[in-house]
Structure 1
Amino acid sequence: MTSSARPLLNRRLAEFGTTIFAEMSALALRTGSINLGQGFPDTDGPEEVREAAVKALRDGRGNQYPPGPGIPELRTAIAAHQQRRYGLTLDPDTEVLVTAGATEAIAASLLALLEPGDEVVALEPYYDSYAACIALAGATRVPVTLRPREGRFHLDLDELRDAVTDRTRLLLINTPHNPTGTVLTREELSVIAALAVERDLLVVTDEVYEHLVHDDAEHVPLSTFPGMRDRTVTLSSAGKTFSFTGWKVGWVKAFSPTYWMLAA
């Protein structure tokens, strides 16, 4: 390769190197240590699910290109789950988009919704891909730190309000939260919803741990709050719920016209 003064990488990604997950996973493998860095289980998912996948491949289902938004049966199942679990009605043909894992859902959502110069308020600590996706979109991340108090990590609602400026385009919310495990309360979510409506903000909610809650915690989707259906983009994944993180099956739930921006 001839030398060039032109940088090889997008300058927006210059500050990002190998992720801490890759480094720690390689170290754990090399030393035989228990890997607490990545969010994958110590056992594979249900045998009946694995057998169903094998049968589908042998029957020739899913071996070729699917429709762009995803296999219709999967989109229908996702919509049915949302109705059954949360009372949310979605059209599987126009409001559910299947992605190659939740990380692609994050990237697709942020790249579709952000313009260079926009600001994104994100709850800290956060999944490392958030920062890279925000940077790739040319936006600026504004962290609001969750702080431990009374046995759980709390969101400082005043700090959240203060973080929003005229340049804020969206809030990036993760609940149940990775890595602290906290589940945002109805009070915290109601303030987020009211702030989004008041300041005309979009909210991207990462809910991949929606079924991994403990004790008396309750996961409530932000899109169920008044005024939030049309301004919330919800991300989730089968990997965490069913212990198949390597299958990379994620999805986006969004309401028109936001859906069509993501599907493009």
Structure 2
Amino acid sequence: MESPVEAQDAARPVRLGVLKRWERPAAGVAGGVLAGAGVAAVFVSRNQAGSATLVVIGGLFLLMAVSGRTIESVRFGDWEFTMAELRRQAAEQARSGRTDQAQATLHVLKKLSPVADRDPEVRAVEISLFENRVVEAVEAARIEGEQVESHENADLGEPLAILVAQSGGVRIGVFAAYASNDSGRIDASVVDQFVRRARDMACEAFLFVNGTLRQEDLERLVEGIERDGGPPVGVETWASITEAGSLRPAVDYLLERVRGSRDEGITLPHQ
């Protein structure tokens, strides 16, 4: 016998959230395209299950466009598909280092939910993926004779990874630079805490891999660490937090500075 909660859930197979005004026409267009493709596929494709899926998903997008609300969960008989489950899967994949899988899961989530970009949980997963890619880029930058120390649970001001270069065992701490929200800004108090902790680390140089942090906050971090004879700092700005760039040129640049080229200034790339 169904419990009151189960009966209530069965009566509400679709749970909704609020859409922004501009997202309604976007959902309508996506729904029309997907539903149309599904209907056409019914007549020309042998994959009836796939065709039906296109029709259903297209219908859900049209429902969002008409109602002005986003779908959080859909139930088909005994099967329930939830945005929360996709977020959970993406977070778990990111934590376990399955970066590409997590990125693919987020891609599906964003296709199904136009408001996913505003979701703090999605933002947290994207930050985890960015950190994963930074660590992977450090590993890729390592040459023969060098070592990489990964710090998965690094706190504020502690490098995600430390590259120990073959030239005199120079330790270069690598940070993933980002803001926890869409503003791209971090508080002055956070900058101060970060700088104090970083200067206490046993590193001869630091490298910031910038994803979303604003120029002025980057400058404050760099200047704070280098102040009063602090270790040299380099900055590598990626065009996208989902696409890693090569860090080897930045590593070589820092090695030169550690060897004595401290009079060379650092130029931060504008975003």
TM-score by length of 1: 0.35
- Identify which of structures 1 and 2 has the higher relative contact order when contacts are C-alpha pairs closer than 8 Å and 6+ apart: 1
**Higher normalized helix content (fraction of residues):** 2
Taking structure 2 as the reference length, the TM-score comes to 0.35
